Amino acid sequence: MSAISPPPPFPSSTSKTPNKTRNSLSTPSKYKINCELSSSAPQKWTIDCVSSGEPIHIILKPPNSIPMASSSLDSSLKNSKRVCLFHCSEMKDLAHRIASESDAIELRSITWRTFEDGFPNLFISNAQGVRGQHAAFLASFSSPGVIFEQLSVIYALPKLFVSSFTLVLPFFPTGTSERMEDEGDVATAFTLARILSNIPISRGGPTNLVIFDIHALQERFYFGDNILPCFESGIPLLLNRLQQLPDSDNITVAFPDDGAWKRFHKQLQHFPMIVCAKVREGDQRIVRIKEGDPKGRHVVIVDDLVQSGGTLTECQKVLAKHGATRISAYVTHGIFPNKSWERFKHDNGGNPESGMTYFWITDSCPDTVRQVKNKAPFEVLSLAAAIATALQV
């Protein structure tokens, strides 16, 4: 602390005018001295000297406001749940985006190798360092061939004495195979749910499972008691993007079938809506508008996933025929097997019959993201922030 100049002298008790001395002592006198604390960010403090008799009282007062940004950040980080995030190879980009969303998320590595016979040869780096930590694994079951190696890691992590374990599986791939229509049909959604339900329990209890826009909400009941499904949605990302459009006040949302309407209409209820339906005419099934009017509107078709894109294409045609001025689409999961995304062209500023203005997908299917990068009309809305938030639950 820098040197402080002494206050002005107090009235002397040996003064020749004792009455004045008594008055000065009976009424407290206050002297202010300013000083600076030597630190990285100097602050002005006040020292009050109050005399109402002996001894003299010195009061050190801090400044009215001291920057607390760094301390509040430290406090926020202390209160956050620190998570060790592992990931499969194809989810590397999304994992890095998730880690960039929060200092409480630390990326950890796994060595993905195979033996000569093709079976997995896996290694979890610094396994002892995970003890007592909250662990999470970001998975992508993009094909049957990668599921086994990822399940091997998923089953191993809870046994490393972790405080809790969270499995993030943005896309539940067998979700569309959730029911039996004929005797002999196999509901593979139920099969995968049972496999995940047998993940070992960690020290913190059952595994937390994070899935985005599962095809049917009733699939929640396919999971056993050893796993806690948390169903998230990508629709908030779409809502945010729609607000940024120059014609945001002219948006109408269309659903390709009743199933999509049931799934999403409550999240999009402040928009005018159109519901389409497939009807059979002879040997053909064609798409028709069941309710709503697209005339003069920018219509956004919303669904949970797209495969070949045939249904979306038929919706696009019927909406353009009925007067939509612009047509866009959103799906949470852009699967697009065999590069079927190539059938969707850009409208080049005003041809809704032959192209789309925007086609939004999330990064739940990383192979598709790499293929459509920088290709209009596709835009990728990242799930990173939503996943980072879910990991703090």
- CA dist., res. 366 & res. 145, Å (int): 16
pTM for the whole structure: 0.80
Nearest CA-CA partner of 391 in 154, 103, 93: 103
Yes or no: say if 261 and 242 are a contact pair by the CB < 8 Å rule: no
Q: Rounded to 5 degrees, what are φ and ψ at 81?
A: -80, 120
Nearest CA-CA partner of 94 in 354, 388, 350: 388
- CA dist., res. 209 & res. 231, Å (int): 8
Alpha carbon 32 to its chain's center: 53
Q: Rounded to 5 degrees, what are φ and ψ at 150?
A: -70, -40
- CA dist., res. 312 & res. 219, Å (int): 24
The beta strand positions in the chain, using DSSP E, are 29-36, 44-51, 57-61, 83-87, 105-107, 110-114, 120-124, 134-138, 164-168, 207-212, 227-232, 251-255, 273-281, 284-291, 298-306, 326-334, 359-362, 378-381
Residue 312, number of CB atoms within 10 A of its CB: 22
Nearest CA-CA partner of 273 in 243, 293, 259: 293
- CA dist., res. 380 & res. 360, Å (int): 6
Q: What does each of the 393 residues of the chain score in pLDDT, given as a tens digit?
A: 444 555 555 444 444 444 444 444 444 454 555 555 544 445 555 555 555 455 555 555 555 544 555 555 455 556 789 999 999 999 999 999 999 999 999 999 999 999 999 999 999 999 999 999 999 999 999 989 999 999 999 999 999 999 999 999 999 999 888 777 788 889 899 999 999 999 999 999 999 999 999 998 888 999 999 999 999 999 999 999 999 999 999 999 999 999 999 999 999 999 999 999 988 776 677 899 999 999 999 999 999 999 999 999 999 999 999 999 999 999 999 999 999 999 999 998 778 998 999 999 999 999 999 999 999 999 999 999 999 999 998
Query: Quick one: residue 241, left, alpha or beta (phi over 0 = left, psi -120 to 50 = alpha)?
Result: alpha
